[in-house]
Amino acid sequence: MSETKTKMDDAFVMKVIQQATAEALRFASAYIEQHGDGYPCGFAWVNIKPARGQFVKVLKKMGIGRTDDFYGGYTIWNPSNHPTQNMDAKEAGARAFAEELRKYGVKCSVSTRMD
């Protein structure tokens, strides 16, 4: 379903974000359960690009994410909100989050960086 075919009002975007966050947390937690909470330490995020359209407008309005001056686009850091420092677990969560957004036509990518 593309963004142009879906009414992206505040309530709809929040529902999508809640679903995506729940999936991200589920995947990050499953990773920790299976592999433990150790090395490598790092970060993972989802970058929405281009950062325009109703979806990003609602995210900005709700204070979710930030404009990314380095990579461009709009970034949501650690979308699972899992407290781990394990980069791989955060990446698993970010990938699940991005997959949920893509179901609604949101163009996004996942990036990681070791700490």
Does residue 48 surpass a pLDDT of 80? yes
Question: Would the pLDDT of 1 be above 50?
Answer: no
Q: What is the pLDDT of residues 62-81, one digit of tens each?
A: 999 999 888 899 999 999 99
What contacts 7, CB < 8 A, 6 or more positions away?
A: none
Compute the mean pLDDT over every residue in the chain, rounded to the nearest whole number.
91
State the total domains in the chain: 1
The confidence score (pLDDT) of residue 6 equals: 57
Taking residues 89-111, report their average pLDDT: 96
SS (H, E, C) 62-73: HCCCEECCCCCC
The per-residue pLDDT for 71 is: 84
Percentage of the chain beyond pLDDT 70 is 95
Task: State the residue range of the domain holding 8.
Answer: 3-114
Q: CA 115 to CA 99: how far, in whole Å?
A: 25
